[in-house]
Amino acid sequence: MNKWIKMSMGMLLAASLLSGCGQDKANNGTDANGGNTGTAAKKTLTLGTSADFPPYEFHKVIDGKDTIVGFDIDIAKDIASDMGAELVIKDLPFDSLLNELSSGRVDMVISGLSPTPERAKAVDLSDIYYKAEQAVVVREADKDKFNTMDTLKGAKIGIQTGSIQEDIAKGIEGAKLTSLAKISDIVLQLQSNRVDASIMEGPVAKSFVKNVKGLAITDAKPEVEDDGYVIGVKKGNSELLTQINKTLGDLNSAGKIEEYVTKATELAESK
């Protein structure tokens, strides 16, 4: 073997060794001098939510920065922490959440999600982590006018698209429904007299009534079979579902979820 071939093979071997070391250091989060670069890959957990549902999930300016907060978000952070993962939040229209989940673009959905049979066919659902009553919101002047579910017959009702409240409204005789993606838009419909009433989840209704002048909760009591709220994961993702249920069990045992609800409600009502 002549010397040029020997030199070429030696150079290739050296380059290969250097390349291998660089890859190892990148994986270990170190630079060429052995220092920590802080760039080691960390597992991420992507949450899909519709952040217009206070106190579950909503936008709030904190320290001058728009931030998605709420007790669902606190729960999601605990799940990510238990997994040793970084939480990534995607704010999406409510009616697109399950499609995003099934397609794998998000890992889990937390957004005041009720465990309906139809949803259970599309995605896997966690244990129930919270229960709350439904409420009817109207303009203050109409509080007595719509004080029972019977008085909503034939009324114009604004509801969130794809929600359990939409299913409730569809069962009201003669009701004319306006389905919108955001609850804040439904509130605007109420304020401008385009709809007569809206059906909302109890804590959400209280939050909007507290913060929007001229609204009230009536004595009407919507009933729903699918009681409570759950977290959705892609069909077959049993490992993630097991971890979620474990975290939920730990949080409930420690009374943490009620603490999160109180904190998020106070935050939603603060100016």
* The residue type at 249: G
The single residue listed with the structure tokens 């004319």 is 176
pLDDT at 164: 84
Domain 134-217 class, CATH top level: alpha beta
pLDDT of residue 226: 60
Domain boundaries, the chain: 44-131+227-269, 134-217
Residues 70 and 73: their CA atoms lie apart, in Å, by: 5
Of residues 30 and 35, more confidently modeled: 35
Query: How far is it, in rounded angstroms, from Cα 83 to Cα 65?
Result: 27
Reported as half-sphere exposure (CB side, CA atoms, 13 A), residue 123 has a value of: 27
Task: Find the Cα–Cα–Cα–Cα dihedral 217, 74, 165, 122, rounded to 10°.
Answer: 180
Q: What pLDDT does 16 receive?
A: 39
Cα-to-chain-centroid distance, residue 111: 4
pLDDT tens-digit profile of 210-238? Answer: 889 999 999 999 987 766 899 999 999 99
Over range 35-58, report the average pLDDT: 80
pLDDT digits (tens, 9 = 90+) for 129-170: 998 889 999 999 999 999 999 999 999 999 999 888 998 999
Find the mean pLDDT for residues 14-21: 37
Report CA torsion sign: 118, 122, 124, 129: negative
Distances (CA, A) of 58 to 166, 212, 244: 20, 15, 22
Cα torsion through 235, 240, 241, 243, rounded to 10: 180
Domains 44-131+227-269 and 134-217 share a fold: yes
Give the global pTM: 0.67
Helix (H) or strand (E) holding 216: strand 215-217
137 CB-side CA count, 13 A: 31
Question: Which strands make up the sheet holding 44-49, listed edge to edge?
Answer: 86-91, 44-49, 108-113, 230-233, 124-125
Q: Which of 189, 180, 137 is nearest to 162 (CA)?
A: 180
Q: How far is CA 199 from the centre of its chain?
A: 19
Task: Fold for 44-131+227-269, please state it.
Answer: D-Maltodextrin-Binding Protein; domain 2 (3.40.190)
Which pLDDT belongs to residue 110?
97
Distance CA 65, CA 151 (A): 43
How far apart, in whole angstroms, are the C-alpha atoms of residue 75 and residue 82? 11
